Amino acid sequence: MTVNVFGAGLAGCEAAYQLAKRGIKVRLYDMKPHKKTPAHSSEKLAELVCSNSLKARRVESAAGLLKEEMRHLDSLLVKFADKCSVPAGGALAVDRDLFSSMVTDAVKNHENITFVSDEIEVIPDDAISIVATGPLTSYALSEHISGRLGDQLSFFDAAAPIVSADSIDMQHAFFESRYGKGDGDDYLNCPLNKEEYEIFYDALVSAERAPVHDFDVRDPKVYEGCMPIEVLAQRGVDTIRFGPMKPVGLRDPKTGHRPWAVLQLRKETASGEMFNLVGFQTNLKFSEQKRVFGLIPALKNAEFLRYGVMHRNTFINSPKLLGADYALRANNNIFFAGQITGVEGYMESASSGLVAGINAYMRVSGRNTVVFPESTMIGSLSRYISDETVSDFQPMGANLGVLPPLEDRPRDKSLRGAMYAQRSLISLDSFIKDNNL
């Protein structure tokens, strides 16, 4: 049996390799070289568009741990990244042209992979397939996916930041839902008095924004629904105070009065290790986000697990559609991988392709698909994108906040990272052995 892989970016190439190395025939489809998205310039596969950095090397970091897990699973992309690395301090950065060349040669010359330059517009029902067409999936295929999944395809322009729960200053925050609705701790409120709000507002409207490329411009109707907080604020000093930062229905227990303005934080996952800034979609530069949002007293020492971003992206509502094996719940012969699933980042995309490739192999072989341990970064990311309790789903990159809490959590951050890594790699090696991977 031959498996289809649609899309030859990072996720698609990794998925194709994982299948091919296990003796499975693969047809790898991509529009290149005859047609490219506006974001791409090279005819090579696995093109790195935004940066040549694959983030931190240190295994004690979230990004470093993810890459180390992938090394244990014989990742094609991490192997080549290591071979063509360039000096970048503590990060793993690569010669992007050499990297793409190495991946292209390995994939196209593999005896079990047939590369097909063609634009796919329909996902077949009668074959095991992996859809890894990325955040700039072609219009025709986007329309097909949208129709097939019950219009579950989402588009967004801006996303709000996510901060670590243990970095929030609880002396300046309190749990309460507006008018006492919900369970009482649905929202963590960060109050500001009039002076604090005015200082924050002035910094927000004058802060430096990140550039937006032509290919990122979206339909204005969608853009309005995802209005960046700094753009909304420019409509007037009280606009956001009567919008995302409205204090109505809340009373600060420290003062006994309603605050002048409130930023609400909402749990990103059921465990409460991460909080997103509700209504704070933004296109500010990362350094400006840390500076400006840090003017909110509760966030003065906040650790940002993900900064807000604004760009064109296409992703499915994975928590409602996918299992943690990256297969569609409605049709387990169809897998999704890469940024279209809601994982964010180069190696995160590749890791999802790795898992989808392994599980497509399992399906071909008549074996049950596997779900990676939650204590691993790979497993936690797959669980995040398939967690049906996640509402207002937004893309997520590797961060220690998605991992289950440590039993004896040390205060020292580097020691904490080392303990996460040790736990992860022990469980991963056992998992690999138990499942004969």
Q: Is the pLDDT of residue 136 over 70?
A: yes
By C-alpha distance, which of 355, 359, 332 is closest to 125? 332
Q: Is the pLDDT of residue 130 over 80?
A: yes
Binning pLDDT at 50, 70 and 90, where does residue 52 land?
Answer: confident
Residue 190: phi, psi to the nearest 5? -115, 95
Share of the chain above pLDDT 90, in %: 69
The pLDDT, as a whole number, for residue 252 is 94
Residue 310 pLDDT > 80, yes or no? no
Q: Tell me the C-alpha distance between 320 and 312, whole Å.
A: 22
The pLDDT, as a whole number, for residue 218 is 39
Q: Residue 158 is which amino acid? A: A
Of the listed ranges 86-90, 105-109, 381-385, the one predicted with least confidence: 86-90
On whether the CB atoms of residues 325 and 379 are closer than 8 A, the answer is no
Residue 306 confidence class, pLDDT cut points 50, 70, 90 = confident
Count Cβ atoms within 10 A of the Cβ of residue 377 and give its class: 0-12 exposed, 13-18 middle, 19 or more buried. Answer: buried
Phi-psi region of 53 (alpha: psi -120 to 50; beta: other; left: phi over 0): beta
Lowest mean pLDDT of 142-156, 187-201, 250-264, 318-332, name the range: 142-156
Give the pLDDT mean for 209-217. 60
Evaluate the omega torsion of the peptide bond into residue 33 and state whether it is cis, within 30 degrees of 0: yes
pLDDT the model gives residue 36: 60
Is residue 349 very low, low, confident or very high in pLDDT (cuts 50, 70, 90)? very high
Between 37 and 20, the more confident residue is 20
Q: How far is CA 172 from CA 193, 236, 252, in A?
A: 11, 26, 9
Tell me the pTM.
0.78
For residue 164, the model assigns a pLDDT of 94
Residue linked to tokens 């204090």: 247
Residues 374-388 have a mean pLDDT of 96
Contact 303, 168 (CB under 8 A): no
Please answer whether residues 12 and 130 qualify as being in contact, where contact means their C-beta atoms are separated by less than 8 angstroms. Answer: yes
Number of neighbours of residue 348 by Cβ within 10 angstroms: 28
Element holding 174 (H helix, E strand): strand 174-175
Residue 155 banded pLDDT, cuts 50, 70, 90: low
Q: In which element (H, E) is residue 426 found? A: helix 413-434
Compute the mean pLDDT over every residue in the chain, rounded to the nearest whole number. Answer: 90
The confidence band for 160, taking pLDDT boundaries of 50, 70 and 90, is confident
**Residue 411: pLDDT over 90:** no
Per the CB < 8 A criterion, the answer to whether 410 and 419 are in contact is yes
HEC letters along 201-256:
HHHHHHCCECCCCHHHCCCHHHHHHCCCHHHHHCCCCCCCCCCCCCCCCCCCCCCC
User: Given this model, what pLDDT does residue 223 score?
Assistant: 41
Is the confidence at residue 271, as pLDDT, over 80?
no
More confidently predicted of 360 and 345: 360
Q: Is the bond preceding 135 in cis, omega lying within 30 degrees of 0?
A: no
pLDDT at position 337 over 50: yes
Provide φ and ψ at 313, rounded to 5°: -150, 155
Pairing of strands 2-6, 25-30: parallel
- d(Cα 73, Cα 358) in Å, to the nearest integer? 10
3-state secondary structure of 59: coil
Instruction: Assign 91 to helix, strand or coil.
Output: strand
The answer to whether residue 410 scores a pLDDT higher than 90 is: no
Of the listed ranges 10-19, 104-113, 177-186, 248-257, the least confidently predicted one is 177-186
Q: How far apart are CA 252 and CA 173, in angstroms?
A: 8
Q: Assess whether pLDDT exceeds 60 at residue 221.
A: no
CA distance 379 to 375: 7
Q: What is the mean pLDDT of residues 255-279?
A: 89
pLDDT at 220 over 50: no
Percent of the chain with pLDDT over 70: 91
Q: List residues bridging with 369 in a β-sheet.
A: none
182 pLDDT tier (thresholds 50, 70, 90): low
Which of the 8 DSSP states describes residue 299? G
Residue 217 has pLDDT above 50, yes or no: no
Pairing of strands 274-277, 334-336: unpaired
Is the alpha carbon torsion for 160, 164, 165, 170 positive or negative? Answer: negative
